[in-house]
Amino acid sequence: MAMQSMTLSRPPVARSRTDGLYEWVTTVDHKRIGVMYVLLALGFLVIGGLEAAAMRLQLIRPHADYVSPRVFNQIMTMHGTTMIFFVAMPLLFGFINYLVPLMIGARDMAFPRLNAFSFWLTAFGGLLLYYSVIGGYGLYGDGNAPEVGWWAYAPLTARAFSRGHSSDYWTLSLLVSGFGTILTSINIIASVLCTRCRGMTLGKMPLFAWMSATMAVLAILAIAPLTAAQMMLMVDRYLGGHFFDTQAGGSAVLWMHFFWIFGHPEVYVLIVPTFAFVSEIIPVFSRKAMFGYPIMVAATVTIAFISLSVWAHHMFTVGMSASSTTFFMITTMAISVPTGIKIFNWLATMWGGKISFKAPMLFCIGFLLQFLVAGLTGVMLATAPLTWQLGNSYFVVAHFHYVILGGIFFGTFGGFYYWYPKVVGRMYSGTLARWHFWLFVIGFHLTFDFMHIPGFLGMPRRIYTYEPGRGWDVWNFIVAIGAAVQIVATAVFILNVLWSARRGPLAGNDPWDAWTLEWSTTSPPPAYNFATLPTVKSRRPLWDLKHPEDPDWKYE
C-alpha cells in the first residue's frame, strides 16, 4: 500500500542515526553546516591549544630548550593564525548558521548551496595551512610551517627574508578561507534582510540576528583588505612586484596599514557574535526582557562603524606623526563608550530579575566580568604613550587573550551550553559543566591575570626564550601552570559534549522556558525547521504565547 501522505500531518522526524558521511558531505542544510563548522573549530582548538601549551612549556624558565628557536616561531605563527581563522571564525559562523534561520522563522539561509561551498572553502583553507608542516620544503631546504607571525609583516615575508614556501602557505590558506568568510557573510546579510518570517520587522528581530548581520557586514569590510594585501604579497613574491619592497621604494608601513585595516575590525567580527549569545542568555536566565533593545542595536552598529577607524592603534610605535597618533587615540577611546553602554545594559537586564546560575549563565557572568577587565586594559593601551611602553609586550598578549578567552570563549561556551539541548536533543551534564567552568576560571586567571606583569617588567612578545635576572621567571612559571589547568578544563568540556550526546536526558523543545523562535520547534529541529512558518508580533514571540494576557507587543 503506497501511501503518499502529506508530510505536514506527520510529527517532526528525528534525525536518523544512520545518516552517513555522504549525507554530511553533500548537505546544504544550515543546521548540519553549522554543526560541521563547530566541529571543525573544536578540532583546530585542540591543535591550537597544544601549540599554546608548547610555547608556555618552552617559556616556563629562561633558556629552556624544549623546542628550537625556529620551531617556536613556527608554533607561534600557527597558533595565532589557527585560533583566529580556524577556531574563532568557524565557531561563530557555525552558531550563526545554525541559529539565525531558526530565530527569524525561516527554513534555511538565503543561499544554501553557497553556504555549503563557503564551509568547504574554510575547511580546505585550514587543511592547506597545516599541510605546510609536511609539505613546505622549498629551495634551500627552508620553510615548512610559516614563521613570520600571524601578521606576516613586510619585508620579513619578502623572498629575501622568507625562503621557501612557508609564507605562501600562510597567504594562500587565508586567501581561500577568506573567500569562504566573505561568501558566508553575504549569505547572512541576505538571510537577515530577505527571509524573515511574517511580522518580524527589523525592530522585532532577536538581538542575535542584528548582531549577526552587523558582524557579517564588518567581516566583508575587514577581510577584503586582507585579501587585497595578500594578493599584493603574492605579486611581490612571484611576479617581481614591489608593493612592499623597501629596496625599490616600497613601504613596509603600507602592509601594516592594510593588515590592521583588516586586523582590528576582525576582532570586532569575533566579539559581536559573542555579544549576541550573551544578549539572548542573560535575559532568559534573569527572567527579564533585554534592557534597552534599541540602544543595544545602535551601540552594536556604532561599535562596528567606529572599529573601521581605529586600526593604527596597532601602529603607535611605528613612528606616525603626532596628529595621526592623536586621531587614532581618540577613535580608539571613543569605541569604549558604546562598549561600556552594552555592559551597563546587561547589568540593567539582570537588575530586578530572578537570576539562576545554570551553566550558560555562569559563563555569561564570567564573560561580563572578564570583558570589563579586558576593556579597561584596552583603554590603558588606547592612551598611546602607554602603548609606547606596553605595546608589543606581554601586557598586550594578556590583554587580547583576556578579550578572546575571557570574553569571546566564555561567552561562546555559554552559548554552547545554552543551545546544546536544542542541537543535540539531550541535556548536558550540569555537574561536568560546573567543573568545566570553575577549572577554566582558575586556569584562565592564573595564566592571564599574571601575564600582565612581565609586560610591565619589559618582556616583549614573540620571543622563544628570555634572559634570567629580568624578573620575568616566576610569572612565566605561573602562566604555564594556568595553561595546564585550562587544558584539563577543556578536556572536561569535550567529555561533557560527547557523553551527554548519548546519555543526557531528553531535553524537550524548550528546557530553559525561553522566548525566541528556535525554542518553538523540536530538539533537534526537523530538516525543514518549522511545520508552518510562524508569524510574530513582538521581539519575544514565545513570551506572547506563554503570557497571552500580557504580551510584549502591548509594550514595545
Site residues (CB under 8 A) for other proteins, limited to 443-472: 456-467, 469-472
Residues 6+ apart with CB under 8 A from 244: 154, 155, 157, 158, 232, 233, 236, 250, 251, 252, 254, 255
DSSP string computed for 200-258? --GGGS-HHHHHHHHHHHHHHHHHHHHHHHHHHHHHHHHS---TT-GGGT--HHHHHHH
Per CB under 8 A, the list member of 376, 442, 481, 501 interacting with other proteins is: 376
Decide: 126 and 44 in contact? Cβ < 8 Å: yes
CB closer to other proteins out of 131 and 456: 456
Angle between helices 207-238 and 166-194 (to 10 degrees): 150
Region of 23-31, 36-44, 166-174, 350-358 interacting with other proteins (CB under 8 A): 350-358
Judged on CB neighbours under 10 Å (0-12, 13-18, 19+), 477 is: middle
For other proteins, the closer of residues 263 and 496 by Cβ is 263
Of the candidates 260, 166, 278, the residue with the CA atom closest to the CA atom of residue 222: 260
Q: How many CA atoms lie within 13 A of 278 on its CB side?
A: 29
Give the nearest distance from C-beta 198 to other proteins in angstroms.
4
Q: Which is nearer to other proteins, 60 or 343 (CB)?
A: 343
Minimum CB distance to other proteins, residue 431 (Å): 19
Position 550 contacts other proteins (CB under 8 A): yes
> Which 198-217 positions form the footprint of other proteins (CB under 8 A)?
198-199, 216-217
Cβ 24 vs Cβ 36: under 8 Å: yes
Say which residues have a Cβ less than 8 Å from residue 205's Cβ, sequence separation at least 6: 103, 104, 192, 196, 539
Single-letter residue type at 232: M
Q: Which of 267, 11, 212, 1 is nearest to 99 (CA)?
A: 212
Q: Is 68 in the site for other proteins (CB under 8 A)?
A: yes
Site string for other proteins, 396-435 (x = CB under 8 A): ----------------------------------------
Q: Contact letters (x/-) for other proteins, 479-508, by CB under 8 A?
A: ------------------------------
C-beta of residue 427 within 8 angstroms of C-beta of residue 504 = yes
* Total site size for other proteins, rule CB under 8 A: 154
Please provide the DSSP assignment of 453-492 as one string. HHHHTTPBSS-S---TTSS-HHHHHHHHHHHHHHHHHHHH
Q: Is 198 exposed, middle or buried (0-12, 13-18, 19+ CB in 10 A)?
A: exposed
**Residue 99 identity:** L
What part of residues 146-185 is at the interface with other proteins (CB under 8 A)? 147-149, 153, 155-156, 161, 182, 185
Instruction: Kindly tell me which of 66 and 344 has the beta carbon lying closer to other proteins.
Output: 344
Nearer to other proteins, 16 or 323 (CB): 323
Using CB under 8 A, which of 194, 491, 494, 506 touches other proteins?
194
- Nearer of residues 45 and 290 to other proteins, judged by Cβ: 290
As a whole number of angstroms, the distance between CA 546 and CA 63 comes to 64
| Residues between 97 and 136 with contacts to other proteins, criterion CB under 8 A | 110-111
Q: How far is the CB of 501 from other proteins (least distance, A)?
A: 25
- For other proteins, the closer of residues 9 and 26 by Cβ is 9
Q: Which residue has the cell 584596552?
A: 378
- CB of 368 vs other proteins, minimal distance in Å: 6
What residues have CB less than 8 Å from 247, skipping those under 6 apart?
A: none
Segment interacting with other proteins (CB under 8 A) among 34-42, 95-103, 340-348, 424-432: 340-348
Question: By C-beta, is 474 or 494 nearer to other proteins?
Answer: 474
Q: Which is nearer to other proteins, 499 or 556 (CB)?
A: 556
Q: How far is the CB of 305 from other proteins (least distance, A)?
A: 14
Question: Among 94, 101, 125, 225, which residue interacts with other proteins (rule: CB under 8 A)?
Answer: 225
Count Cα neighbours of 383 within 13 Å in the Cβ-side half-sphere.
7
User: Which DSSP symbol is given to 105?
Assistant: T
Q: Is 292 in the site for other proteins (CB under 8 A)?
A: yes
Shortest spacing between CB 268 and other proteins, in angstroms: 15
Q: Which is nearer to other proteins, 325 or 500 (CB)?
A: 325
Per CB under 8 A, the list member of 47, 67, 372, 432 interacting with other proteins is 372
- Can you say how many angstroms the Cα of residue 224 is from the centroid of all Cα atoms in its chain? 18
Q: Which span sits near other proteins by CB under 8 A: 49-57, 421-429, 476-484, 537-545?
A: 537-545
Considering the complex, state which of residue 352 and residue 491 has its C-beta at the smaller distance from other proteins: 352
CA-CA-CA-CA dihedral for 368, 370, 375, 376, to nearest 10: 120
Site string for other proteins, 3-42 (x = CB under 8 A): ----------------------------------------
Interacting residues with other proteins between 298 and 337 (CB under 8 A): 317-319, 321-322, 325-326, 329-330, 333-334, 336-337
Cβ proximity to other proteins: between 445 and 461 the closer is 461
Smallest distance, other proteins to C-beta of residue 441, A: 14
Tell me whether residue 380 or residue 487 sits nearer to other proteins (CB atom): 380
